[in-house]
């Protein structure tokens, strides 16, 4: 079994989702192209830096919920996630593949390869790469940027080889990540979806459980 998750997995931990039916999500309030794109960073690096500092502090205060804990307890499971938060890791999960990078580190914007973890409770301000002098930025994948090759290759392999893909809290509208659900399906996996609402992946579901991740996931991952 492999899990494939999105922002809905961390919603009950207080980490806002992006496109939520109820709350509207982050992208209803903020322009993703201004805050989560290379062009937005070029136009106003201070604004982007402050926004990620705000998100980092919020995530540092958040705690893993029942879904993170239930997933982490399954040490044999691989967890493919679109989430940049570190809640699965903090719940003890070992095999986590972050397709969209991590907010818990900064990397060189010129991709010289330099990357370092940051203190989420005291996020750094704008600064330069100690290796090449270019700007440092959050080690997340921004809109228009390609996914990290190794993470993508590992995620593809995991989804191709699994017997069951447990899809949790994603609207399944952002590609190429959302394409992994169809890939697992066509490779013969059973698709179980957990979401408070129907999503673009609903048509691929063998079983769709409409409910909150922190309640449903522990109920189906019984030891």
In the bound state with ligand APR, the residue whose beta carbon lies nearer, of 3 and 129, is 3
Picked from ligand APR, Zn ion, none, the partner binding residue 114 (CB below 5 to 8 A depending on kind) is Zn ion
Cβ at position 132, least distance to Zn ion in Å: 3
Exactly one of 30, 68, 89, 100 is catalytic; which is it? 100
- Which stretch in 19-27, 124-132, 140-148, 214-222 sits in contact with Zn ion by CB under 5 A? 124-132
* Residue 192 contacts residue 202 (beta carbons within 8 Å): no
How far, in Å, CA of 188 to CA of 191, rounded?
A: 9
Of residues 79 through 108, those in contact with Zn ion by CB under 5 A are 108
68 binds ligand APR (CB under 6 A): no
Q: Which of 32, 37, 89, 114 lies at the binding interface for Zn ion (CB under 5 A)?
A: 114
| Residue 218 sits in the site that holds ligand APR (CB under 6 A) | no
x-or-dash string of contact with Zn ion, 128-167, rule CB under 5 A: -x-xx-x---------------------------------
Is 68 assigned a catalytic role?
Answer: no
């Amino acid at each position: 079994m492999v899990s494939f998750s999105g922002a809905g997995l961390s919603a009950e931990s207080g980490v806002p989702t992006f496109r939520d039916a109820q709350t509207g999500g982050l992208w209803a309030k903020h322009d993703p192209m201004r805050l989560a794109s290379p062009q937005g960073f070029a136009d106003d690096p201070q604004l982007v830096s402050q926004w990620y500092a705000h998100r980092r502090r919020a995530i540092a205060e958040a705690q893993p919920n029942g879904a993170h804990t239930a997933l982490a307890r399954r040490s044999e499971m691989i967890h493919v996630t679109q989430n940049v938060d570190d809640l699965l890791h903090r719940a003890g999960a070992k095999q986590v593949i972050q397709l969209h990078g991590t907010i818990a580190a900064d990397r060189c914007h010129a991709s010289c390869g330099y990357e370092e973890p940051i203190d989420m409770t005291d996020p750094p301000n704008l600064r330069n790469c100690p290796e090449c002098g270019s700007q440092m930025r959050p080690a997340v994948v921004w809109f228009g940027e390609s996914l990290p090759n190794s993470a993508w290759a590992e995620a593809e392999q995991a989804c191709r080889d699994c017997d069951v893909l447990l899809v949790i809290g994603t609207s399944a509208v952002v590609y190429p990540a959302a394409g992994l659900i169809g890939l697992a399906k066509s490779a013969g996996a059973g698709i179980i979806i957990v979401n408070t609402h129907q999503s673009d992946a609903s048509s691929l579901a063998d079983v769709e459980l409409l409910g909150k991740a922190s309640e449903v996931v522990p109920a189906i991952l019984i030891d």
